Structure formats: C-alpha cells, structure tokens
Chains A and B, each alone.
Chain A
Amino acid sequence: MENTVTNFDHTSEYTTLNLGPTHPATHGIFQNILTMDGEIIVEAEQTCGYIHRAFEKIAEHRPFYQITPLTDRLNYCSSPINNMGWHMTVEKLLGVQTPKRVDYMRIIIMELARIADHLICNSVIAVDCGALTGFTYVFQWREKIYDIYEEICGARLTTNVGRIGGLERDFSPACIAKIREFIQEYPKVLREFTSLVERNRIFMDRTVGVGPISVERALHYGFTGPNLRAAGLDYDVRVMNPYSSYQDFDFTIPVGVNGDTYDRFRVRQEEMWESLKLIKNALENLPEGKFFAEVPEFYLPPKEEVYKNMEALIWHFKIVMGETDVPVGEVYHSVEGGNGELGFYLVSDGGRAAYRLHFRRPCFIYYQAFPEMIKGSTLSDAIVTMSSMNVIAGELDA
C-alpha cells in the first residue's frame, strides 16, 4: 500500500477527468469519470454499456446451437472456453454423458484458450508499463495457438468450436503434431517472457503494491478467477466443481498474497505453466473412442450420411429446424473462464429456444471494485490496474 495516498486534502480543488470511452490507454471501451487531486485519483465512477449487444435477448430467439457463436463474443480472448461452457450447460440440461475422449479434447482446447487469454493479458500489462517488446514477442505464440484452432475448427478468434454432445471432428494428425510442437516450444518462450518482465526493476516498481485488494473485499465484490486467486483464495471451478473430467488431472492452483497487479500477473503466469501441464497430460492420455456422444437428436449426423441415410436426414432436419424435444427445466453450469467463473443459467420451457439465458460474466461483476482499487493511486497506476484485471469489453457489456 506504499503507493497509496489516503489522506486527501479536502480544501483543494478537484479536477474531473473523463477517461474514455475511447481513451488510448484503455484497451476497449471503458469510461471512467475520475475526480483528481493533481495526479491522485480521489474518486472514480465507471460507466459501461458502450458495446451492449443484447446477448440475453438474442438467446431467447435462437435455437441452442445458434447460441454458441454468441458465447464466442463474450470473452473473445478465450472463446473456446465459453463455447465449451455453453455446450456443457446444454448437455447437463439434456442429461448427455460425453465420452472421455471428448472431455480430454475439450480440456486441451480450453487450456490452450486459457494460455491465449493470459498471454494477451500479461503482455498488455507489460505494454502499459512501457514494455512493448514482450507483447510483439509473445503475440507470435498466440498466432501458433490460432494455427492450432484453425486445425481444430477452421477459425482463428471466434472459434464456434464443438457441438452439443461432442466436437464436430476429431483432432487431425497435423493438429496433434502442432499441439505437440507447441507444448515443446512454448516453455522456452514463456521463460524468456518471464525473464524479460518479471524481475524487471521498472516493471516491479510499476506493479508491486499497485491496485491491491484484500481477499475479504475481493469476495465481497464477487471476484473469481485469477484476480481472486491473486488476493489469496484458491477458488477454482475446475477443482471445486470439476467438469469435463478435470478431476482426472493433477494440477496446482497458484495463489497470490497481496492481490496487487504484480500478484495478478504472477498468478496468470503460473497458470499458463499449469495449463501446459494439463494439455500435455491430456494429450498423452487421450483415450481412444468417439469424439461425440451418441445423441442423434442433438448431434448433427455427418453430411454424407444425410445424403444417403433416411434417418440421418430426419435428424438433420429436426436439429436444424429446432424441432427436437428439450426437457423443461433450469440449470446452472459454470466453467473456469479466462477471467473467472463463467456461469450459464439456462431456463428451458421445452421450446426451440431458451426461455431465459443469463450469463454470469465474471468481469462484469468484479469490475465494480475498480474505483476502490484505484482510489488514492495515480492515473498511470489506474491504467495498469485495469489491464491487470483483464476486463474484456465484450464480456462486460454482453
């Protein structure tokens, strides 16, 4: 807390500074109205909704499989996790059991996405501290992850990967080769990035003790994910409520102490190592078998079957027209997204679309704590704090 000023001179005049919504230093559309005493922030008020796209309203009008592209655009830095989370929610509603191979493939994809997400967040923290080199360096490795995505599903960023009941296709040999190459080469890159930044004097001066939050306040504000873990609580959905066979794997949850920007950075950095370990284990132990569950009423049949086989044609028609029966019920499912507990609360009335779908968007919830975290710090510290919180505009505003 050494950088924090707590005794404000209430006789002095304050300046109001409008930070955003298109401020160059904020990555995305965030508006903060700051009351400044010189360089020190006295008060802050965020405004959001600048890219509100009415996801929840759209979700009430689209069949289940058409909601996957929407989830892509929530936290677009790690869209596969969102896709998988949504598929698992629907599978939970339908009572579908996925084969182990699907689970392991999903883990590989999700952990790759987590690396991609943390990579962009951590390199952007470095950029905001003035170190652009790390960013341009690690972004090449994000491209490698994009290559793997392309091999898996054909898309780079908004992947729309997977189907309800499984994945649309198996990993190709080329894809497995690329993943192997990635897990072999990436440690070197991560170590190099770490050595560039982590013990760098300037970086440490800019981040240690900046934007701290105690674990009590973090819980009060509903923090989840790396930000909560940086504050010192080891809550991870993957461990507490395992989904997609995460219970088969052995991994540690890195935990910080001070909940400041540096700890958030460190936690993400360590999580990337854990993700790598998970990918490696899942790939080595990838079970043989089908890459989809036997649910013809929800999983699209292969296209050649549709042309030749009457039954497949009927299922294809029914799925595409949204005429398969869905149980009435409500289900809450959450996954560990790139920046916290990403929850889907789905209420189904048996119709072709969801009656109500609510996304529990982690950054919408924890971004509330931002004014408290930056109070008394300087403007430049506020920028670093914001990027270390990994607030993604698409997820914030839905």
Chain B
Amino acid sequence: MSEVNNAYLLKELQDQFAAFITQVDEPYGLLTIELDKEQILPVLSFLVKHPELQMQFLTDVCGMHFPDNKGKELATVYHVHSFTKNIRLRIKCYMSLDAPQIDSVTSLFGSANWQERETFDFFGIEFIGHPNLKRILNVDEMEYFPMRKEYPLEDQTRTDKDDTYFGR
C-alpha cells in the first residue's frame, strides 16, 4: 500500500480521468483540480467508492463568478474530504454564463441538496437532477442572482441615504 497523499490522489485521478482534468494546482497544500463539468458525477462517485481513499464526506459546495473569464464565467467548487485518510480535494468546474448547467451530486451526498440550492440562489447555476431546485435564502420573487459581480451589495430602494455623505 502506497502512502495516501496528494501525489497518490492525483495519480489515481489521472489514471481514470486524465483527459478531463485541465489544470492541477496545490495552493496551501490542498490539491485542486479543474475538471470538465460533465465529469463531476463520475469523478465524485469514483472517489466515494475508491477502496483506499473513501472520500465520502462532501465538505462544501459553492459557486463563483468571474465576469472577465469569457466562456468560463461561472464555477462550482466542491471540497471533498476523506475521514479515513484525512485528505482533502478541491474540484472546480467552470461553465459559461449562457449554459450554467451542471449535474447535481445529491444522488451521492444528501448534504449537497441545500448547498446546491444556495448556489443556484446566489449564482443561478442550475443543477440537473436536483430534486427541489428553488431559491432557499432569498425571496422567491427575486429576479436576479445577487452574488454575481454585476449586482450591487446595497439596497437600491433606499431613500434615506444621502450619497454626498458617502463621497459618491
């Protein structure tokens, strides 16, 4: 048995999915791969079922928005964790603003349910196969995706705020 570390994890992934991994990085010791978004389910189920790694804990799912990154404006970021080997992996899947769709991983992890809903709520990323994809934190009537960079932070309906006091 070889030691389970980032190099081993990467080798295991490269053996199976080399064609779909576009970039590999290791910021602050956490292996990060960029993955073709079509492959998210196969990769995650491979990691879950892998006898050595057993990456069965989905720590986190979140979205990101890069307005200047043409064709790859939106991203979902997955953090998976193996409790048995104490190793983490970060997977990034980029997608374009025109087709913000990615497979839902709720079939593998129940915890992804709300996290994907939150990502949809904030970024408008649609998770295909999600059982109940609707807004979670914001009001249902909301028409935009507030965490996208073009939308402002502040409440636009405010009337009591004098801009001159804020140097604008």
Contacts and interface: CB of A to CB of B under 8 A. Distances in A.
A336 interface: no
A135 B139 CA distance: 35
7 contacts: A49-B138, A54-B153, A219-B56, A221-B111, A330-B32, A343-B59, A347-B64
Contact of B147 (A57, A364, A369): A57
Interface of A: 48-49, 52, 54, 56-58, 60-61, 92-93, 217, 219-222, 233, 235, 240-241, 329-332, 334, 341, 343, 345, 347, 356, 358, 360, 364-369, 397-398
B57 A330 contact: no
B60 interface: yes
Interface of B: 27-28, 30, 32, 56-60, 62, 64-65, 77, 79, 83, 86, 88, 90, 109-111, 113-115, 118, 122, 135-139, 146-147, 153
A331 B88 CA distance: 12
Nearest to B77: A345
Given A48-B137, A92-B28, 17 more contacts: A49-B137, A49-B138, A54-B146, A56-B122, A57-B146, A222-B111, A233-B83, A235-B83, A241-B86, A329-B27, A331-B30, A332-B60, A332-B79, A332-B88, A345-B77, A358-B62, A360-B79
Given A330-B32, A345-B77, A57 B113 contact: no
A240 B86 contact: yes
A341 B139 CA distance: 28
A398 B146 CA distance: 14
A366 B113 CA distance: 11
Contact of B59 (A52, A341, A356, A398): A341
A240 B60 CA distance: 17
Given A57-B146, A332-B90, A222 B57 contact: yes
A67 to B, nearest CB: 13
B153 A360 contact: no
B44 to A, nearest CB: 14
A80 B139 CA distance: 31
Contacts of A93: 28
Given A52-B137, A56-B147, A332-B88, A358 B60 contact: yes
B153 A222 contact: no
Given A241-B86, A397-B137, A369 B110 contact: yes
A331 B28 contact: yes
A320 B83 CA distance: 40
